[in-house]
Amino acid sequence: MTDEQLYESLTQFHSSTRHSWSDATTEQWNDYRWQLKNRVSSLTALEERMALSAEERAGVLLAGNKLAMSITPHFFELIDRQNPDCPIRRQIIPRIEEAWTAPEELADPCGEDSHMPVPGLVHRYPDRVLFLVTDRCASYCRYCTRSRVVSGAGDQQLEIQWESAFRYLEKHTEVRDVLLSGGDPLLLSDDKLDRILTRLRTIPHIQFLRIGSRIPIFLPQRITPELCGILQKHHPLFISIHTNHPKELTTEVRAGLERMANAGIPLGNQSVLLRCINDSATVQRALVHKLLMCRVRPYYLYQCDLINGSSHLRTSVATGLDIINHLRGHTTGYGIPQFVVDGPGGGGKIPLNPDYIINRQPGRVILRNYQDQIFEYPDPHPIDDKTLQELHLLANSPTLTDHVEHQLSGTI
């Protein structure tokens, strides 16, 4: 298959099948509660539905010691069971490689615990905070940055002190932006989510709210009209979804995203660059174009964090820069995410870009474009005092005013 044929196949929308749940009714399949109840979360349930490699089977056996396994039926049906390198499969089914920790890896690679003034609240940037409101997700990504606290399988538990967090936010008037994350906030009940958002909206200096969620991808059935109605009450509110591969954008996912967009919610996407999953320009081009068709703007492409047991999924930084270089100029600017790396240990997001500046010299900068053509861009040439004075005199000249009025009257 050529790159163009691959691109064309990846940009098509398909529905998730019910191959392994053929006895489920349409009503059950479209009910997010049924989807949650029937998640694949054990080795037995997994092997009933597909043949595992030895590496996967060992990974599942060890999963309870680090990060639980859980796969919604909707997302499970996207797995190619004949292909051990299926990009959906590699994201969601544990492997034995997770048991090895590379020397550079960390339990808390983003240094969140050290920037937590109140349990559950991370205040690393001056004007915004991260509010961890749950430790559960519909499914668990094997590269999860917060695998130390989510799913309940690890040694560390997420503690949330709700009232202390709200009081901290009320006191710190510099905070204008609150991001709800976890775990996945959209896994909370409608009532609880509404209560949290309503309480935040009582704090005058908080200008807008954000939610980070993979629910629209793992569990599109959760994006109900009722949920969208609740979210719509709390504008300005933004949602960042998490999609890594175009295959994840099913017909059902597109419908859920359209419901949120129709509720006036700006949607962005955050991807993680992953080895043998989305580390090619063709896959990334298909992904960003498909996102735009779903009314979602590509926002960030993350270099995979240095989370324990993730080395088999991480790529080099050079790979990400090469992908951005191949997107720039070959698709609309709306479709190009910002490639970022989180500074290990708590440095925050650091933007990374290909080298478009070749040289800087006094009065000019030498640039290259996406075709490697070279251009010179000069710094502004200051207007000398004498010329500036003459221009100001001309601007206040009655003759100039008469001349302009005469021109305008001639065009009517």
What are 392-409's pLDDT values in tens digits? 888 888 877 676 666 666
pLDDT of amino acid 381: 86
Tokens found for residue 321: 């820069």
Q: Last residue of some domain: 64, 95, 126?
A: 95
Distance from C-alpha of 337 to C-alpha of 324, rounded to nearest angstrom: 8
Residue 290 lies in a domain: yes
- Of 32, 57, 22, 31, the closest CA to residue 42 belongs to 57
**Catalytic, out of 18, 31, 125, 275:** 125
Question: Does 194 reside within a domain?
Answer: yes
One domain for residues 181 and 217:
yes
Taken in order 58, 60, 61, 65, the sign of the CA dihedral is positive
Q: pLDDT at position 367, please? A: 93
Please give the pLDDT value at position 334: 94
The active-site residue, picked from 135, 184, 279, 342, is 342
* Tens place of pLDDT per residue across the chain (412 aa): 899 999 999 999 999 999 999 999 999 999 999 999 999 999 999 999 999 999 999 999 998 788 999 999 999 999 999 999 999 999 999 999 999 999 999 999 999 999 999 999 999 999 999 999 999 999 999 999 999 999 988 889 999 999 999 999 999 999 999 999 999 999 999 999 999 999 999 999 999 999 999 999 999 999 999 999 999 999 999 999 999 999 999 999 999 999 999 999 999 999 999 999 999 999 999 999 999 999 999 999 999 999 999 999 999 999 999 999 999 999 999 999 999 999 999 999 999 999 999 999 888 999 999 999 999 999 888 899 999 898 888 888 887 767 666 666 665 4
From the candidates 32, 89, 305, 314, give the one annotated as an active-site residue.
305
Same domain, yes or no, for 125 and 234?
A: yes
> Looking at the structure, do residues 32 and 76 belong to the same domain, yes or no?
yes
In 242-316, which ranges are E strands? Answer: 267-273, 297-303
Helix and strand numbers, DSSP H then E, in the chain: 16, 12
pLDDT at 260: 98
Q: Which residue has the tokens 């502004």?
A: 380
Q: How many CA atoms lie within 13 A of 134 on its CB side?
A: 18
Residue 216 lies in a domain: yes
pLDDT at 155: 80
- Indicate which CATH number applies to the domain containing 158: 3.20.20.70
**Distance, CA of 160 to chain centre:** 23
- CB-count exposure of residue 67 (10 Å: 0-12, 13-18, 19+): buried
Instruction: Confirm whether 61 is domain-assigned.
Output: yes
Give the tens place of pLDDT for each residue, 15-44: 999 999 999 999 999 999 999 999 999 999
Annotated active-site residue 141? The verdict is yes
Q: What is the DSSP letter of 220?
A: G
CB 274 within 8 A of CB 91: yes
Give the whole-angstrom CA distance, residue 211 versus residue 17.
29
Contact 249, 304 (CB under 8 A): no
Residue 406: predicted pLDDT: 66
Range of the domain at 72: 11-95
Residue 402 lies in a domain: no
Residues in the chain: 412
Same domain? For 37 and 156 the reply is no
Res 399: pLDDT? 75
Query: Is-catalytic flag, 124?
Result: yes
Does residue 390 sit within a domain?
A: no
Phi, psi of 301 (to 5 degrees): -115, 110
Q: Helices in 263-315 by DSSP H: which ranges? A: 281-293
349 is catalytic: yes
Same domain for 18 and 166, yes or no, is no
pLDDT digits (tens, 9 = 90+) for 378-391: 988 889 999 989 88
User: How far is it, in rounded angstroms, from Cα 272 to Cα 106?
Assistant: 17
Boundary-marking domain end, from 28, 63, 95: 95
Catalytic residue, chosen from 18, 81, 124, 259, is: 124
Check 57, 90, 128, 254 and give the catalytic one: 128
- Specify whether 144 is catalytic: yes
User: Cα–Cα distance between 410 and 25 in angstroms, integer?
Assistant: 73
The residue from 357, 387, 402 where one domain ends is 357
Is there a single domain that holds both residue 151 and residue 269?
Answer: yes
In a domain, 259, yes or no: yes
Find the catalytic residue in 66, 89, 146, 290: 146
pLDDT of residue 201: 98
Can you say whether residue 128 is alpha, beta or left, with left for phi > 0 and alpha for psi between -120 and 50 degrees?
beta
Say if residue 67 is in the same domain as residue 198.
no
Same-domain pairing of 61 and 128? no
Q: What is the pLDDT of residue 395?
A: 85
Question: In this predicted structure, what is the pLDDT of residue 48?
Answer: 97
Secondary structure (3-state) at 297: strand
Among 86, 110, 137, 294, the active-site one is: 137
What pLDDT shows up at residue 411?
Answer: 55
Quick one: pLDDT at residue 403?
64
| Residue with the two structure tokens 């100029």 | 329
Active-site residue, from 86, 110, 144, 294: 144
Question: Is 90 in the same domain as 46?
Answer: yes
Among 332, 246, 241, 330, residue whose Cα is nearest residue 284: 246
Q: Say whether both 138 and 73 belong to one domain.
A: no
Q: Please tell me the predicted confidence (pLDDT) of residue 169.
A: 98
Q: What share of the chain is helix, strand, coil (3-state, %, to 5)?
A: 40, 20, 45
Residue 146 annotated as catalytic: yes
Q: Does residue 304 belong to any structural domain of this protein? A: yes
- Regarding whether 148 and 287 lie in a shared domain, the answer is yes
Give how many domains the chain has, as a whole number.
2
Establish whether 137 is a catalytic residue: yes
Domain co-membership, 243 together with 336 = yes
**How far is the C-alpha of 338 from the C-alpha of 322, rounded, in Å?**
13
